[in-house]
Chain A
Amino acid sequence: MSIKDKVPVTILTGFLGSGKTTLLNRILSEEHGKRIAVIENEYGEVGIDQGLVINADEEVFEMSNGCICCTVRGDLIRVLGNLMKRRDKFDYVLVETTGLADPGPVAQTFFMDEEISSEFTLDGIVTLVDAAHIDQQLGRSDESSEQVAFADVLVLNKTDLVSDDALDTLESRLRDMNRMTRIIRAENAKVPIETVLNLSAFDLDHILKRRPTFLEPEYPFEWTGVYDLDAGKYELMLEEGPDPEMSLVALVNQGESEEELKDGAESSVRLYAENANTLEPGNTVPYGEHVNLKLEDKGNKSFILNIEKPTKIGLFTQHTAEEFNMKVIKSEENKEIPFNTERFWQAEHEHDDEVGSIAIERFGDVDPEKLNTWMGRLLSEKGVDIFRTKGFISYSGNPRRIVFQGVHMLFTAQPDKEWGNEPRRNQLVFIGRNLNEKEMQEGFDKCLI
């Protein structure tokens, strides 16, 4: 049976009062041509008025080996096992979990139980969040952060009760915890049906199409401008900005292609890791060094750029040029030289929550054996803390890209479409608790050929 013949299942999670039942009723009452069977773990809040609704108490079954990844939901196995004999009656399943449900066992059920996985496919996990209360809930309970971490779609509900600023802050907090998720704001759980059903959410392609930069690493700088400069003396002029100082790295011979910009960024990351020399206004900016521009004074501040022979200079700046109205001026002619190319980078920021995402993106092929060994060890050591994994891998010698997806220690790797002319690369995302990004990236790098 191919994945197309399997019945898709959407899991609806969220704390009591987050609006799950409202959303469920909305889905059931709308004309979408699907016949949906609902398995309801949380009942009593608001009645559901529809034919195929099955109430089932949540039954979390741990195995004698004590492995949390083998923990499954007995109620779902039982109910779905019966439902699969009635496939002519429905073509979609929705599971509404209790507010305190751990999404792990729910998702694992679709990997662990052969009978279930041969008939059903987990389409996606939708988590409803009460915008007014989630901040407190995240601090108080593991369940709510796990529900956020597992979500393919986060519906930020009850936005009418919260200011726009607070919503922005909340959204970026949630985004930090789960970079794969799609965040939708809603009042009264009013969201387009297609944003919660038929997500094929385990399909990373969809996510990349939606947000092509989500796998991008974070950089210690936000902006790069490339300036084509003749020999001579230039001034780097800045006005007041959001900070009394700003870090910068200037590189010579900076190319303008995407690949060259990324190379420059990688060099700058290494330079940024070194201590910065502080430059007062009027000082000369050295090349290939991490410097810190003092910008406390009012009005324009100038730093000197000396160019010996024509070159392209790349300025990798902590903040964007716009924030300080930064200009490059040719001193003799007092003429502004505009940049040829600019590039914005995803800026690094503080991560407060224990739960977070790690993305690894590398060009090239990996050695399947090395990767297996590394993955096997990583998941056996950290599987409890790694909630979800998704990604593409390029195996050397394999014309197809390999799609990875996992829940805790459970993992599947399947050949997907052919690479064709696309550049070979690897993209992996891990969502989990207290993950060590540097260690994981280094581990992965050792698997590259």
Chain B
Amino acid sequence: MPDIEPFSPRGMFHEGWTAEVNDYAIACGWALKGKQFIVGDVAGGIFAFEGDTGKIIWKKENTHSGGLLAMAIHPEGEIFATSGQDGNVQICNCHEGKVIKTLDLGKGWVEHLKWSNDGLFLAIASLKKVYVFNEVGEEKWISEDHPSTVSAITWSNKNELATACYGRVTFFDIINNKTNQKLEWQGSLVSMELSPDGDIVACGSQDNSVHFWRRSTGMDAEMTGYPGKPSHLSFDDSGKLLATSGSERITVWSFIGNGPEGTMPGELCHHTEPISSLAFSNKGMLVASGSRDGSVVASFLKNDGNGDPVGAAFAGDLVGAISWRPDDCALAAVNAKGVVNVWKFKVRTNLFSKGFK
């Protein structure tokens, strides 16, 4: 029916490859500029696959006794870090998976890892402390004890690290060892995302709300009414849209104009069970969501936060993590059964047909 005008743009998941790891897959990411895909399972197995074919390149098991908790790939994609219940962090080389350096932080679980955008620093959260190491594993900075276990960390600029815990977000200048800003809110902050320019701080709170602050003006706002705690947050690369979810629904706040205060958010209702992972594409207003029901959906959003699905697939079981390839031409999802799915992702608009850029 040639006279039907499809909505624009339209995209879809094309067959890519699948593979398996040994256990519940909890972390994944692209390395070597998309040539390699690394998956970590809960038991401490790490697997590297060829990005295009899914052919296994290397694997190692029992990297962290007690289990793996986090993995972070360096922005340049040559090295990555893992951490676990054993209180250790390993910095490894992506090509062979060889350990370059092991950091022993004591007995506590090491739950969060974040490379700074320029890749010079690795931030690590374990219990109430946050540590910063450089690429070769030399210690550069340690925080004092936070009031509670640190629940999220993220870099706001190349020398400034944001941490979230019960009751507050703190910004540390890790070079000059000083506290730049403290944002307080009585609530258990379970997730944190910063807008790309670092001005907007969004936190999901245990009391089923999203709290955010604008650092430049000091204004803050609370978005309530979530059916569950918003554990999943993602900003688009322009900082216009914040996708949030604490249930099967995705709520998208638009920061365009005077929003989001006093505006209606966009709502995406594509899943039957709560969202278990959420990620904007590296460029553009495409958001991918994975759910406990195993479904993976990519939606194209408008400026008001509403949007339409442009592709969907079934990953087989609870989606543990999703990851866009750096060029956004492939989307990967790993699940609770240890299955890895990589789909080629193509968007067709009226004007061009290629990866969405």
A residues apposed to B, CB below 8 Å: 54-55, 57, 59, 61-65, 70, 72, 74-75, 77-78, 82, 85-86, 113-115
Interfacial residues of chain B within 180-215, with CB under 8 A of chain A in the complex = 185-188, 205-207
Interfacial residues of chain B within 158-192, with CB under 8 A of chain A in the complex = 166, 185-188
Inter-subunit contact B148/A59 (CB<8 Å) = yes
Inter-subunit contact B149/A59 (CB<8 Å) = yes
Contacts of A74 in B (CB 8 A): 148-149, 166, 188, 206
Give A257 to B127 CA distance when docked, in angstroms: 65
Q: List 30 A-B contacts (CB under 8 A).
A: A57-B127, A57-B149, A59-B148, A61-B148, A61-B206, A63-B186, A63-B187, A63-B188, A65-B207, A70-B207, A72-B206, A74-B149, A74-B166, A74-B188, A75-B149, A77-B206, A78-B149, A82-B67, A82-B69, A85-B24, A85-B336, A86-B42, A86-B43, A113-B206, A114-B227, A114-B228, A114-B247, A115-B228, A115-B231, A115-B274
Inter-subunit contact A113/B107 (CB<8 Å) = no
Known A86-B24, A86-B67; judge A114-B336 contact (CB<8 A).
Answer: no
Among A54, A59, A70, A72, max chain B CB count under 10 A is at: A59
Give A436 to B224 CA distance when docked, in angstroms: 36
Least distance between B75 CB and chain A CB atoms (Å): 26
Inter-subunit contact B166/A55 (CB<8 Å) = no
Least distance between B318 CB and chain A CB atoms (Å): 9
Contacts of A55 in B (CB 8 A): 107
Give A64 to B148 CA distance when docked, in angstroms: 16
Give A86 to B26 CA distance when docked, in angstroms: 11
Nearest opposing residue in chain A for B25, CB measure: A85
Contacts of B227 in A (CB 8 A): 114
Interfacial residues of chain B within 12-39, with CB under 8 A of chain A in the complex = 24, 26
Nearest opposing residue in chain A for B187, CB measure: A64
Contacts of A65 in B (CB 8 A): 207
Give the dominant DSSP class at B's interface.
loop
Given A63-B207, A72-B206: 18 more A-B contacts, CB < 8 Å: A55-B107, A57-B127, A61-B148, A61-B206, A62-B186, A63-B205, A64-B205, A65-B207, A74-B188, A74-B206, A78-B111, A82-B67, A82-B85, A82-B109, A86-B42, A114-B228, A114-B229, A114-B274
Inter-subunit contact B149/A63 (CB<8 Å) = no
Among all A-B residue pairs, the 6 with the closest Cβ atoms: A61-B188, A63-B207, A114-B228, A64-B186, A85-B42, A85-B24
Known A74-B148, A74-B188; judge A63-B274 contact (CB<8 A).
Answer: no
Least distance between A354 CB and chain B CB atoms (Å): 29
Nearest opposing residue in chain B for A52, CB measure: B66
Least distance between B126 CB and chain A CB atoms (Å): 12
Known A64-B186, A85-B336, A115-B229; judge A59-B206 contact (CB<8 A).
Answer: no
Produce 1/0 per residue, B27-67, CB < 8 A to A.
00000000000000011000000000000000000000001
Nearest opposing residue in chain B for A88, CB measure: B23
Give A62 to B206 CA distance when docked, in angstroms: 9
Known A85-B24, A85-B336, A114-B274; judge A61-B42 contact (CB<8 A).
Answer: no
Least distance between A219 CB and chain B CB atoms (Å): 46
Give A63 to B127 CA distance when docked, in angstroms: 21
Least distance between B293 CB and chain A CB atoms (Å): 12
Least distance between A6 CB and chain B CB atoms (Å): 15
Nearest opposing residue in chain A for B188, CB measure: A61
Give A82 to B26 CA distance when docked, in angstroms: 10
Contacts of B43 in A (CB 8 A): 86
Contacts of A63 in B (CB 8 A): 186-188, 205-207
Give A82 to B185 CA distance when docked, in angstroms: 26
Least distance between B350 CB and chain A CB atoms (Å): 42
Interfacial residues of chain B within 121-159, with CB under 8 A of chain A in the complex = 127, 148-149, 151
Give A54 to B26 CA distance when docked, in angstroms: 20
Least distance between A44 CB and chain B CB atoms (Å): 13
Least distance between B120 CB and chain A CB atoms (Å): 29
Nearest opposing residue in chain B for A82, CB measure: B69
Contacts of B320 in A (CB 8 A): 85
Least distance between A47 CB and chain B CB atoms (Å): 13
Least distance between B181 CB and chain A CB atoms (Å): 20
Least distance between A113 CB and chain B CB atoms (Å): 7
Give A63 to B229 CA distance when docked, in angstroms: 12
Contacts of B109 in A (CB 8 A): 82
Nearest opposing residue in chain B for A70, CB measure: B207
Least distance between B174 CB and chain A CB atoms (Å): 25
Give A86 to B320 CA distance when docked, in angstroms: 13
Least distance between A223 CB and chain B CB atoms (Å): 54
Nearest opposing residue in chain B for A63, CB measure: B207
Among B42, B231, B274, B320, max chain A CB count under 10 A is at: B42
Contacts of A64 in B (CB 8 A): 185-187, 205, 207
